[in-house]
Amino acid sequence: MDREHTDARLRLGPLADVQILVEDTRGQPVDFTLFQVLARRKDLSGDGKPETLRPNRGHVPLHPGRWDLALNPTAGYYVAKFSVVQGENAGRGRADGWNEIAAAGGPFAVQFVLSPNPGVVRGAVTGANHEPVAGAPVYLEAYDLDARRRLADLRVARTDMQGKYQFYGLPPGNYRILGTFEYQSPDSAALDAAGARTVKVEESRDVALDLELYVLR
């Protein structure tokens, strides 16, 4: 036996066959061209880099372990519900955010339900002189007012030449919003400190909300 060399082999389990089911609120299948399926691996080092899945007839192979799945629909829809039809739901999530699953060796299915009635938030960002601010980042955070925590990934838009911004495809719920050049990706504490505005989004409703550009002083 060669003591200077160790032949360490890691035996991986079989790939899990995951069926992705997507339907609307009436139970009708939704065309796969209307959304993008994302996945990221979860391990002891944290969350992996998101990757785009390309289902083959609705099926994707995943290595065994814990994964987060998310669905990015077109602007005319929002994700209203997520469930594991067959298999283990590894953790609680928000349907329009990341949803944790446990992929074992066997086949299982997950289901996303899309609603065709998203909300919209739009408005304008102005500076201290009340003139429109072009190219300003506007951050939108889905927020639990009771638990005081972020519920999904931060959304960002930039104002146009007239200082106008808009967010489409929003699920109903409470959000916090801030227009500023001061942060690249503010966390909840930064939004607290900046006095981010709170806005409530409802299905099929268009909310108009003008913002004053936040500047650190």
| Statement to judge: residues 109 and 30 lie in one domain | yes
| Statement to judge: residues 188 and 142 lie in one domain | yes
Question: What is the reported pLDDT for 1?
Answer: 47
Q: What is the CATH number of the domain that holds 158?
A: 2.60.40.1120
In a domain, 203, yes or no: yes
| Statement to judge: residues 94 and 149 lie in one domain | no
CA distance 132 to 156: 18
In a domain, 37, yes or no: yes
| Statement to judge: residues 110 and 123 lie in one domain | no
In a domain, 188, yes or no: yes
Read off the pLDDT of each residue in 101-126 and give the average, rounded to a whole number: 92
In a domain, 217, yes or no: no
Contact (CB, 8 A) for 80 and 25: yes
Read off the pLDDT of each residue in 173-201 and give the average, rounded to a whole number: 97
Output phi, psi for 94, to 5 deg: -110, 135
Task: Dump pLDDT digits (tens) for 127-150.
Answer: 989 999 999 999 999 999 999 999
**Position 89 pLDDT exceeds 60:** no
Task: Dump pLDDT digits (tens) for 27-71.
Answer: 999 988 889 999 999 988 888 999 999 999 899 999 998 999 999
Element (H, E) at 191: helix 188-194
In a domain, 95, yes or no: yes
Of the three residues 115, 133, 153, the one that is the final residue of a domain is 115
Which residue range forms the structural domain that includes residue 208?
A: 119-212
Residue with tokens 């669905």: 71
- Chain centroid, CA 67 distance in Å: 14
| Statement to judge: residues 61 and 96 lie in one domain | yes
| Statement to judge: residues 101 and 22 lie in one domain | yes
> Which residues fall within 8 angstroms of residue 217, CB to CB, at 6 or more apart?
none
Tokens of 81: 């519900």
Q: What is the pTM of this model?
A: 0.84
| Statement to judge: residues 22 and 76 lie in one domain | yes
CA distance 71 to 55: 12
Of all residues in the chain, what percent are helix, strand and coil, respectively (each to 5)? 5, 50, 45
Tokens of 180: 């500023």
**For the chain, what is the domain count?**
2
Cα separation values, 143 from 76, 183, 196, Å: 22, 18, 11
Output phi, psi for 188, to 5 deg: -65, -35
| Statement to judge: residues 103 and 128 lie in one domain | no
| Statement to judge: residues 86 and 30 lie in one domain | yes
